[in-house]
């Protein structure tokens, strides 16, 4: 039996590579880094030296996407700054405080409709929305 030690990466499909990169880099703060020379367009986006988000592009978007993944979630910090960036970019979001843990959960969508969750520590002050 395999022993899972952690999440390696997510892969999202993109209808417009530059638009997707702009969202993940300019809005969420990922850094673009090394990507092997695959035969298809794409990008690998990094956080703290780890390529945790892969973008695949240059192919038609599937009529019936494979799988049942509902969303991807990332730990985050500086809730107010993220909200300010999302508002500036006119990106709609939902913000909730998770009862019991009191962490902040912010949900938004990438340019191709992938649901993104950002989890902020309970110690973050309540933001001005």
Integer angstrom CA distances of residue 20 from 8, 95, 99, 123: 20, 22, 32, 30
Q: How far apart are CA 50 and CA 74, in angstroms?
A: 13
Which domains are present in the chain?
10-59+70-120 (3.10.180.10)
What global pTM score does this model have? 0.85
Please identify which residue in the block is written with the tokens 């970019």.
89
* DSSP per position, 28-70: T--EEE-----SS-EEEEEETTEEEEEEE-SSPPPSS-SS---
Integer angstrom CA distances of residue 81 from 36, 60, 71, 118, 125: 33, 35, 22, 13, 12
Q: What is the pLDDT of residues 60-88, one digit of tens each?
A: 877 877 666 779 999 999 999 999 999 99
For residue 116, list its beta bridge partners.
72, 108
Query: What pLDDT is recorded for position 4?
Result: 61
Q: What is the pLDDT of residues 86-104, one digit of tens each?
A: 999 999 999 999 888 999 9
């Amino acid at each position: 039996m395999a022993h899972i030690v952690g999440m390696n990466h997510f892969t999202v499909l993109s209808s417009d590579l530059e638009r997707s990169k702009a969202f993940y880099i300019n809005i969420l703060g990922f850094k673009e880094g090394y990507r092997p020379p695959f035969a298809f367009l794409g990008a690998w986006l990094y956080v703290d030296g780890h390529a945790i988000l892969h973008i695949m592009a240059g192919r038609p978007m599937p009529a019936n996407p494979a799988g049942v993944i509902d969303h991807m979630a990332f730990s985050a910090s500086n809730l107010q700054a993220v909200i300010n960036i999302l508002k500036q970019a006119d990106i709609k979001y939902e913000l909730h405080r998770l009862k019991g843990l009191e962490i902040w959960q912010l949900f938004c969508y990438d340019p191709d409709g992938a649901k993104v969750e950002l989890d902020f520590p309970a110690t973050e002050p309540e933001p001005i929305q």
